[in-house]
Structures are given as structure tokens and as C-alpha cells.
Amino acid sequence: MALDENWFTETVLDEGLAFSLRIKERLHAEQSPYQRIEVFETLHWGRLMAIDGCVMLTERDNFLYHEMMVHPAMFTHAEPHTVLIIGGGDCGTLQEVLRHPNVARVVQVEIDERVTRIAERFFPELTAMNGDPRCDLRFEDGVKFVRRTATACFDVVIIDSTDPIGPAQELFGSGFLRQIHRILRPGGVLAQQSESPLLHEKNILKPLHRSLAEAGFARRVTLCFPVPSYPSGWWSCTLAGKACEVRDFRRTAAAARPFTTRYYNEDVHRGSLAVPEFCRGAFDG
């Protein structure tokens, strides 16, 4: 069946694949100083935000991504008080961080303020906690912010970026990751969105592990989880520890978490640490 203008389609030409969602209407479209941002009402996946033609999130499945970008890192760190989010403009990651009652301060540095303003308008369920006094929302270049940040300031850093092409490319390089290592406190944990295990094992995940190693992160592991609306439906988050073992986590605390999740639990966390056979050697350090 040919797909007409009633479908939003994201194509990944160099993988020869496409994913489409049936839409009712386009609610918003604008060109920000950085990128093209669109919001659609879909027929079965709630609202959809797309940036430069790529799915950023849908209401139906973003819980998978946001929970897995946050809770494994937070329960790997012994006692996370201060968190830095680079990117994350839709505020879904921020919200999951704020659910942890021991968090005293979260700084989010998103380069494009328009992403957050559009999320506030069209995805209010993600931005409902933005008024929390522990939040510090900044709109500037994350690379520059990190460069001028004092040493050993944060317990957890989450890099919730778009794909490592264009503006986000620098976020995957060893120069920037060395800066992240510097601003983490001892025992600190970095969580970085790291694309699809199937599509990007060789061209993104292996180089990322190499960059992390060069940046000083001896302990690393890539967690795998489903995100149906992202290319291949299978995604990953890479954890790297500064003097912190990232394959262990506070299992009892994770089981007793004082908030609701839809995907994450202590078994899912442990399960996501399993390294697929074809990724052995590439995904753990």
C-alpha cells in the first residue's frame, strides 16, 4: 500500500528503512534558529514531535526512552544529588529525574529554547514538573556550558541529544566527554543516548566506547531497550562511570522506588544490561 499525505514518514535512507505513523493533522510547524520542529496529532500514537523530519517522541511510547535514559543511571549512582542534562528539550528526561526525591538540583542545558516552549504547549504531561524549585533550565550550547563548569560538580550527567550528525556530533567526541569526566564528582555516572544496537553498532557504538575510554571512563556498559518509534525500534543508552562500577546498581532501592513507572523496574534494569552476542566486546569496558 502506498502511503499518502495522511502519514508522517521518517526515512533512514542509508539503512533503506522507513517508519510511518498515520496522522490526523499537523498542529504546528516552525523553523527555529537550529532546526525544523513539527507537531502532529496521530491516529493511534497520541501527539508526535519531529525535528528535521525525525521522530523525537510520541505520547504513546516516549515512556520507554525517558525511563531508560534516567532510572538506570540514577540507581547506579550511590546517592545522586546533582544532575546535569545536556539537550532533553522536551523535558521528559527532566521529569523522570525529578521523581527521585534525593535529587537536590537539576540543571538542563538545551540549545534550542523553542523545543521546550513547544513541549510546554503540546506535551504538557512532560513539562508539568518544570516549575519544581530544584530545576534550573538554561538555553545555551551544552558544550560551552560544560567547558566553563567547575570540576567535580555533578553526580549524574545525562546526554539526551539528537543523532550524532550536525549539532550533536561534538557530544560524542572524546574532547567533550573528557570535559564531562572532569565535571563529574568521583563516583559519578554519565548516561548517553547511543542509537540503535542493530543499525549503529559499528559506526556509533564502538567509536563511542573508544571515545569514552579515551576520556577516562574505564567502566562502561550499553543498555538496550525498545523504542518502537525510533529507527529499528531498538535503542540504547550507554552508562560510563567515574570510579563507579556501572554493571551494579541499587537493586533494593530500585524495587522500592517511590514513584510509578511503566517500563522500568529492577528486573528490566538488570535485563537491559545483557549484551547481545553480536555486540560482545563492543558494549562493555
Interface residues toward a second copy, by CB under 8 A? 1-5, 7, 9, 11, 13-22, 42-45, 53, 61, 197-198, 224, 226, 228, 232-234, 261-265, 267-268, 270-278, 280
Question: At closest approach, how far in Å is the CB of 214 from a second copy?
Answer: 27
Q: Which residue has the cell 522506588?
A: 257
In the chain, what are the helix, strand and coil shares in percent, each to the nearest 5? Answer: 35, 30, 35
Helical H runs in 124-275? 124-127, 142-147, 174-183, 197-200, 206-214, 251-255, 266-272
> Considering beta carbons, is residue 146 or 199 the nearer one to a second copy?
199
Question: At closest approach, how far in Å is the CB of 71 from a second copy?
Answer: 11
Question: At closest approach, how far in Å is the CB of 138 from a second copy?
Answer: 32
Give the strands of the sheet with 135-139, arranged side by side: 135-139, 105-110, 82-87, 154-160, 184-193, 234-241, 219-226
Helix axes 174-183, 206-214, angle to 10 degrees: 50
Cβ pair 69, 160 in contact under 8 A: yes
User: Which residues have CB under 8 Å from 17's CB, separation 6+?
Assistant: 11, 231, 232
Phi and psi for 192 in degrees, rounded to 5?
-125, 130
Question: At closest approach, how far in Å is the CB of 274 from a second copy?
Answer: 3
> Considering beta carbons, is residue 20 or 151 the nearer one to a second copy?
20
For residue 31, what are the β-bridge partners? Answer: 36
Provide DSSP, 60-120. Answer: TTHHHHHHHHHHHHHHHSSS--EEEEEE-TTSHHHHHHHT-TT--EEEEEES-HHHHHHHH
Question: At closest approach, how far in Å is the CB of 172 from a second copy?
Answer: 22
Give the active site residues. 160
> Considering beta carbons, is residue 64 or 119 the nearer one to a second copy?
64
Binding residue positions for S-methyl-5'-thioadenosine = 35, 110, 141-142, 167
Binding residue positions for spermidine = 66, 90, 160-163
User: Which residues have CB under 8 Å from 137's CB, separation 6+?
Assistant: 108, 110, 116, 130
